[in-house]
Amino acid sequence: VFPLIVSGPHAPWLNLLLFILSQFILALCLFTYLQPSRNQGPEPRAGNPSALATQPGNSPTAPQAGSELIILLWTWPFGHPAALQKCSELFGIRDCHITANRSWYHKANAVIVHHRDVCSGPKKLPQGPRPPSQHWIWFNLESPSHSPNLGFMDNLFNLTMSYRRDSDIFTPYGWLEVLSQPQNFSIPTKSKLVAWVISNWNPASRRVQYYEELKKYLHVDIYGSHHMPLPRDKHFSTLSQYKFYLAFENSLHEDYITEKLWNNALGSGAVPVVCGPSRENYERFLPPDAFIHINDFPNAQGLAQYLQELDKDPARYQRYFQWRTWLKPSERSSWAIHFCKACRALQMTETYQTRTSLAKWFR
């Protein structure tokens, strides 16, 4: 759903109203429709341990109403166990039995495979015969630049689960929720100008090169590895003191908008200055006046001058918070929500297909 952008004296409020309407439509579409894979191929024959195990002639069917689906987490994401919740409480759907115990493999209706934990080689994947009709779900929240060895994943997976909007199971880093009634959002007290939290300092990256130019015209407080410490319990209270936050992504890819924007910036009440995909891409997730894009300016000097102007003009700065009258960033992002989205998708789909070229699609 793409917001229609209008101009004129009432543009900010009209844009906000149109964006809220688009969020209603998007939420309805995501809840009632599971987008099938665009790259459908034939079902491989049984007998190959690394191939889909559907017997020729069999037509897998959706689970019967009332039955509890079994979802096996082949690994905990990044090897760290996470708290699970009942999907009935999160989404009002039938619960699934979600487990990381591999002894459930032959009974599982689906197996969620987290890419970063298996990408070192095919032997990290489930071995041996694959149960008929079992869905394999490829799960990945990293960008293509940080998703190695996609090639051996081809012809193995039935469903994709990622931050990409064209995934079979859409699991973004964050989203906006429409409020039931308007709120008076209080902007946190600001005493500082610009902050940036970065753990992976790569001098060759676009974000670091842009910062090196920006710092010639504007001071930025940097937190993270080899910079100022930022204790976990002081994270939001520290960042909320800043008017702006540099939500610079580590790579530029479609829909790759991470916690840098959702948590660090919006979660702390700072205006995000983004470096990532295009402005048009950001506007599929946010109102156009909820962020500042570096591409809006010819160079870093132009951005620095604009931020300094906003710092001296409270009325103009406050316009970047008008959207919060009817919208708020979700506070529910968790591994449990991702897993329950898979549970919901499995209950809704009757298709069984193969992602023949995962590498080509994700790149």
Q: Mind listing the domains of the chain with CATH numbers?
A: 34-173+333-362 (no CATH), 178-329 (3.40.50.11660)
Residue identified by tokens 């409270």 is 314
> Are 147 and 356 contacting, i.e. CB atoms less than 8 angstroms apart?
no
pTM: 0.83
Catalytic residue among 142, 177, 259, 283: 142
Residue among 162, 159, 185, 188 at smallest CA distance from 173: 162
- Rounded to whole angstroms, how far apart are CA atoms 170 and 34? 9
Query: In this structure, what DSSP letter does residue 263 have?
Result: I
Four-residue CA torsion sign, 54, 60, 62, 68: negative
Phi, psi of 328 (to 5 degrees): -145, 150
pLDDT (tens digit, 0 to 9) for every residue of the chain, 363 residues total?
444 444 455 556 666 666 766 666 655 544 443 333 333 333 332 223 333 333 222 333 444 445 799 999 999 999 999 999 999 999 999 999 999 999 999 999 999 999 999 999 999 999 988 998 899 999 999 999 999 999 999 999 999 999 999 999 999 999 999 999 999 999 999 999 999 999 999 999 999 999 999 999 999 999 998 899 999 999 999 999 999 999 999 999 999 999 999 999 999 999 999 999 999 999 999 999 999 999 999 999 999 999 999 999 999 999 999 999 999 999 878 999 999 999 999 999 877 778 889 989 998
Q: Is 325 helix (H, G, I), strand (E, B) or coil?
A: helix
Query: 287-298 in b/e burial notation, b at 16+ Cβ within 10 A?
Result: bbbbbbbbeeee
List the beta bridge partners of residue 139: 114, 161
Burial status of residue 244 (CB atoms within 10 A of its CB: 0-12, 13-18, 19 or more): buried
> Are 237 and 270 contacting, i.e. CB atoms less than 8 angstroms apart?
no
> Are 324 and 185 contacting, i.e. CB atoms less than 8 angstroms apart?
yes
Residue among 208, 185, 218, 211 at smallest CA distance from 311: 218
Two structure tokens written together for 91: 């989404």
Strands 221-223 and 271-275: unpaired
Contacts with 297 (C-beta within 8 Å, 6 or more apart), sequence order: 303, 306
Instruction: Give yes or no: 142 in active site.
Output: yes
